[in-house]
Amino acid sequence: MKKYSGFSLFRNALSHNLNWKQAWRKPEPKKHYDVIIVGGGGHGLATAYYLAKVHKIKNIAVVEKGWIGGGNTGRNTTIVRSNYLWTEASLFYEKSLKLWEGLSQDLNYNVMFSQRGVYNLGHNLQDMRDIERRVSANRLNGIDAEVVNATQIKAEIPLIDTSPDARYPILGASLQRRGGVARHDAIAWGFARAADALGVDIIEQCEVTGIHREKGRVTGIDTTRGKINAPKIGVVVAGNASVLAKMVDLRLPIESHPLQAFVSEPMKPVLDTVVMSGAVHGYVSQSDKGELVIGAGVDSYVGYGQRGSFQTIEHTLEAIVQLFPMFSRVRLLRMWGGIVDVCPDACPIVSKTPVDGLYFNCGWGTGGFKATPGSGWAFAHTIANDHPHELNAPFSLERFTTGALIDEHGAAAVAH
């Protein structure tokens, strides 16, 4: 792997940028691997990278039915934060946030991680009580968090409507200053390039059609590019988790929903932070290109179609325009839907399964992007040691049988 640097930019500029090498190889699948990761999104590529880097496993394949980062990694609002309520969740997301902070250096790839702060708005007294509770819980867990009032919000975000007669009056917010946004494509490309440099085979256009088992153990997969054998298989396929689980007669506590987001036409910088509101199901930030990036809540029905219903868009935009009246004149440029795998307790499953050698990483629902490096790091540990790390042990599949759910849905009261 040729290292990217200021000097390499300069040298390639001299040759009219015609001599950049491809960032990762396009290998043919081998007959056998030590570990196969199914799913070439951010989480899958991160898993492969940490398996190779931390656990020194060399013979790894990532199989992806489409192209790298073409699923939810390229279809989200790129918000990164770790201010979750429950200790299990907040420590896991905080591990991820810490990895984000060093990721560009680690991968030698600029993931454009910008810690511009994340505001979670409170619109009524109960919201503010929940915010006080969550901020206190975060601080007890060593995570930066503060409560700000409406005057402070108005001082830092002049465009926001904090007047008392607003449709959604703003009483205050929680603020995590270390939160922010990152470049969605860069995280997939950066992990793919770094994993490839460590010898990981990234096999695109390769859909899994079956999973082989012998005596309760996985032995390999059938794909559209032939059979591939491996004693360990990690499945990280987001919205299609239930489809893969069905191949081994496993039922998951997951439903797949469309989640929509939209981008406006580019404009001059107006918003230098991230504003979220769980109560109105909307969140907004401004990209480096100047587009407003706006996210909605999930559509209520099960859907695999990568698009959702118009009233969900309308509902979210109504709320955003109420919060930021100036945005009423901004036109949308494009919109899209991703398929998110939602667990009943809104927490992920990063776990072993009843099938030996088969591991599932799913259920991230609407909040998976922020967890990309931490999820890969913990899943790699789980696969390499056949045992979860203490950070992801609470996120097992068994918690739905034992009842030890981690109820972030109601408790955190925030849109993911």
Binding site for another protein (CB under 8 A): 240, 242-243, 251-256, 300-305, 309-311, 344, 400-403
List the one residue out of 337, 343, 39 whose CA is nearest residue 191.
39
* Pair of tokens at residue 136: 């206190």
Task: Scan for tokens 């918000």, then name that residue.
Answer: 79
* Pair of tokens at residue 199: 């010898």
Give 210 or 344: the residue with its C-beta nearer to another protein.
344
Query: Least distance in Å: CB of 362 to another protein?
Result: 11
Give 25 or 246: the residue with its C-beta nearer to another protein.
246
Taking the C-alpha atoms of residue 180 and residue 195, their distance in angstroms, rounded to an integer, is 25
Give 56 or 251: the residue with its C-beta nearer to another protein.
251
Give 70 or 325: the residue with its C-beta nearer to another protein.
70
Between β-strands 255-264 and 332-342, what pairing exists: parallel, antiparallel or unpaired? antiparallel
- DSSP letters spanning 277-345: ETTTTEEEEE-TTS-EEEEEEE-SS---SS---HHHHHHHHHHHHHH-GGGGGPPEEEEEEEEEEE-TT
DSSP 8: H
Give 4 or 336: the residue with its C-beta nearer to another protein.
336
Query: Least distance in Å: CB of 242 to another protein?
Result: 4
Query: Least distance in Å: CB of 237 to another protein?
Result: 11
Give 8 or 209: the residue with its C-beta nearer to another protein.
209
Strand extents, DSSP E, 125-244: 146-149, 172-176, 180-181, 201-203, 208-214, 217-223, 226-229, 232-235
Taking the C-alpha atoms of residue 381 and residue 378, their distance in angstroms, rounded to an integer, is 5
Query: Least distance in Å: CB of 253 to another protein?
Result: 4
Task: Scan for tokens 């860069």, then name that residue.
Answer: 186
Taking the C-alpha atoms of residue 240 and residue 346, their distance in angstroms, rounded to an integer, is 17
Query: Least distance in Å: CB of 390 to another protein?
Result: 24
Query: Least distance in Å: CB of 398 to another protein?
Result: 9
Query: Least distance in Å: CB of 105 to another protein?
Result: 39
Taking the C-alpha atoms of residue 203 and residue 43, their distance in angstroms, rounded to an integer, is 15
Give 229 or 309: the residue with its C-beta nearer to another protein.
309
